């Protein structure tokens, strides 16, 4: 199961609007380099959390992600945590 994140989620986590936009842009480029060409579009603003973590060099706190994500994403994160 792939957990995704948006610019708005990053802003909710405390990153600035401009920095959040740059992170999403870099994550999309990273995903294209890994062979996922469908990330090569301006309209797509949702990327895997793992790509963002790779760019930032940190692991995002799962509890903070729960607070910032929508209810469907939060349910997926809870499911992933219960399976670990």
- Per-residue DSSP letters for 14-37? T--HHHHHHHHHHHHHHHHHTT-G
Give residue 71's pLDDT: 47
What are the tokens at 78? 């809870």
**pLDDT at residue 77, rounded to an integer:** 52
Along the 84 residues of the chain, how does pLDDT read in single tens digits?
A: 678 899 998 998 889 999 999 999 999 999 999 999 999 998 999 999 999 999 999 888 777 666 666 544 555 555 555 555
- Domain span at residue 60 reads 4-83
What distance in Å separates the CA atoms of residue 84 and residue 82, rounded to the nearest whole number? 6
Please report, for residues 12, 26, 37, 67, 69, the alpha-carbon distance to residue 75 in angstroms, rounded to integers and kept in the order given.
Answer: 18, 26, 28, 11, 9
Look at residue 23 in the predicted model and tell me its pLDDT.
96
Residue matched to tokens 């607070």: 67
Domain count, the chain: 1
């Amino acid at each position: 199961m792939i957990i995704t994140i948006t610019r708005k989620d990053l802003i909710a986590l405390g990153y600035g609007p401009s920095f959040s936009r740059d992170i999403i842009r870099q994550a999309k480029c990273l995903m294209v380099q890994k062979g996922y060409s469908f990330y090569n579009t301006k309209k797509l603003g949702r990327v895997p959390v793992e790509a963002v973590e790779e760019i930032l060099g940190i692991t995002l706190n799962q509890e903070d992600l729960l607070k910032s994500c929508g209810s469907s994403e939060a349910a997926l994160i809870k499911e992933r945590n219960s399976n670990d």
